[in-house]
Amino acid sequence: MTKPRGETRARILRTAAELFQRQGYGATGLNQVLAESGAPKGSLYFHFPRGKEQLAAEAVALAGGELGERMASVVGSAAGPRDAVVGVGELLADELRESGFRDGCPLATVALEQAGGDGPISEVCQLTYDTWLLGLSDSLRGWGAADDEAAELAELVLSSLQGALLLAQVRRDTAVISTVARRVASVVVRSLGEQGSGTQDSEK
C-alpha cells in the first residue's frame, strides 16, 4: 500500500530533525535520512527540492517549535517566575534523560555549526531562539518586569539553562540543570522584587 505523500514528507522531516539534533548538519547525510526514515529514493528531492539546506531549516524549525511549545506550556502553568524557571529546567532534564543523554537542545548543534554565517538555517535558528526569548520575556513582564529587564532576564534564563543542558549531556548527569535552574530562579525572583513564589529552593 502506497503511503500518502504528506506522511512520507513528515517522516523524512521527523527523522532529519532527530539526526540533526544528535549529529549536527555536517555529519548527517541525506542517504542516512532516507535509510532511517524508510522513505523511497527520490522522495527527498521531491519533497525538499532545495536539498539538504531546506530539509535542515525545516527540521530545525519543527524541533525548535515543538520544544518552544512545551516550554511555553510549563511557563504558562507556573505559579510564578520561580516555578517557571525551575519547571523549564525540569523539562529539559527529563527530556535529556529520556533520550539516554543523546539529545540535547534541538538547535544547539546545528546553530553552532552555522554561527557567523547566513542563509535559511541560520535564520531559522535565530528566529527560534528569538521566539523562545520573546515567550519568556512576555511572561516576565506579566510578573512585573519592565521591558528591558524582562528581555535581559529571559536571556539570562535561556543562556544559563542551555549551558547547563550541554554540561549535563557531557557528564551524563542532570543534577547541574536542577542546580542552575534553582540559582537562576532566585536571581529572577530577586530582580522582580518578590519574596518568592511557587517552588522553594534551598539557595534562598
pLDDT attached to residue 127: 96
For residue 85, the number of C-alpha atoms closer than 13 Å in the C-beta half-sphere is 33
pLDDT attached to residue 4: 52
Give the C-alpha separation, 152 to 191, whole Å.
Answer: 11
pLDDT attached to residue 193: 86
Each domain of the chain, given as residue ranges in start order, spans 53-191
pLDDT attached to residue 41: 85
Query: Residue 130 corresponds to which cell in the numbers above?
Result: 528569538
- 3-class DSSP state of 201: coil
What DSSP letter does each residue of 138-198 carry, written as one string? HHHHHTT--HHHHHHHHHHHHHHHHHHHHHHHHHT-THHHHHHHHHHHHHHHHHTT-S--S
pLDDT attached to residue 5: 60
For residue 119, the number of C-alpha atoms closer than 13 Å in the C-beta half-sphere is 16
Given the C-alpha cell 518578590, which residue does it identify?
Answer: 194
pLDDT attached to residue 199: 41
Question: What is the residue-level pLDDT of the chain in tens, covering all 204 positions?
Answer: 344 568 999 999 999 999 999 999 999 999 999 999 999 988 999 999 999 999 999 999 999 999 999 999 999 999 999 999 999 999 999 999 999 999 999 999 999 998 878 899 999 999 999 999 999 999 999 999 999 999 999 999 999 999 999 999 999 999 999 999 999 999 999 999 853 444 444 344
pLDDT attached to residue 118: 86
Task: Indicate the CATH number of 53-191 among 1.10.580.10, 3.40.640.10, 3.30.300.30, 1.10.357.10.
Answer: 1.10.357.10
pLDDT attached to residue 196: 40
- Taking every pair of Cα atoms in the chain, the longest distance, rounded to a whole number of angstroms, is 62
The set of residues, in sequence order, having a beta carbon less than 8 Å from that of 197 and lying 6+ positions away, is 79, 80, 81, 82, 83, 189
Residues 185-194 have pLDDT tens digits of 999 999 998 5
Q: Is pTM beyond 0.75 here?
A: yes
Give the C-alpha separation, 52 to 33, whole Å.
Answer: 10
What is the amino acid identity at position 85?
V
pLDDT attached to residue 2: 43
